[in-house]
Chain A
Amino acid sequence: MRRSLAAIAGVVLVLFAVGGASAQRQGSASSSSARDLAPIDLTGYWVSYVTENWRYRMVTPAKGEYRRIPASPAALPIINAWDPVADQRAGNQCKSYGAAAIMSVPGRLHITWQDADTLRIDTDAGTQTRLLRFTDRAPGDKSASASRPTWQGDSNARWERVAAASSTAQDPAYAAGGSLRVVTSNMRAGYLRKNGVPYSERATVTEHFDVAPLPDGGTLLLVNTIVDDPVYLNAPYVVSPHFKKEPDGSKWDPTPCSSTW
Chain B
Amino acid sequence: MFIDVVVRRIVLALSIAVLGVFAAFAQTNPAGPQSRTRPTPTVFPSQFEFAGSWAPLGTEDVQNDSVPVDYLGLALTDEGRTRALSYDESQKSMIERQCQGWGAAYMVLGPFGLRITSQSDQQKRLVSYTIDAWEDWMEMTIWMDDRTRPSEHALHTQAGFTTGRWEGGALGARTTHLKAGFIRKTGVPLSDQATIDWRFFRHGDLLTVLMVARDPVYLVEPEIISKSFRLSKTPLDFRDPCVPGYEGREPGDDVPHFAPDQNPFLDEFMKLYNLPREAVLGYRDTLYPEYRKKIKNTYVPPPPCTADCGVAGNFVRRRAG
Given known pairs A30-B31, A68-B58, A240-B208, the reply for A178 and B41 (CB within 8 Å) is yes
List chain A residues, Cβ under 8 A from B42: 158-161, 181
Given known pairs A51-B225, A181-B203, the reply for A59 and B287 (CB within 8 Å) is no
Given known pairs A162-B168, A214-B212, the reply for A50 and B73 (CB within 8 Å) is yes
Contact flags A189-229 to B (C-beta < 8 A → 1, else 0): 00000000000000000001010101100001010101000
Q: Shortest CB–CB separation between residue B26 and chain A, in angstroms?
A: 9
**A201→B293 CA distance, assembly (Å):** 30
Chain B contributes a number of interface residues (CB within 8 A of A) equal to 91
B305 partner, pick from A33, A64, A169, beta carbons under 8 A: A64
Report yes or no: B32 in contact with A115, Cβ–Cβ below 8 A: yes
Q: Shortest CB–CB separation between residue B269 and chain A, in angstroms?
A: 9
Chain A's interface size range is 35 or more
Report yes or no: B170 in contact with A118, Cβ–Cβ below 8 A: no
**A175→B286 CA distance, assembly (Å):** 38
Given known pairs A8-B11, A118-B32, A240-B227, the reply for A55 and B45 (CB within 8 Å) is no
Segment 36-59 of B: residues with Cβ below 8 Å from A? 36-47, 57-59
24 contacting pairs across A/B (C-beta < 8 A): A1-B4, A7-B7, A22-B22, A30-B31, A33-B38, A39-B168, A49-B288, A50-B73, A52-B73, A58-B292, A59-B274, A59-B295, A62-B305, A66-B311, A67-B61, A116-B31, A134-B34, A134-B39, A135-B37, A160-B42, A162-B46, A174-B165, A220-B210, A240-B208
Spell out B's residues near A (CB within 8 Å).
Answer: 3-4, 7-8, 10-11, 14-15, 18, 21-22, 25, 29-47, 57-62, 72-74, 165-170, 172, 195, 197, 199, 201, 203, 206, 208, 210, 212, 214, 222-228, 273-275, 279, 286-293, 295-296, 299, 301-306, 308-311, 313-314
The 5 closest A-B pairs by CB, nearest first: A177-B168, A4-B7, A162-B169, A159-B41, A65-B305
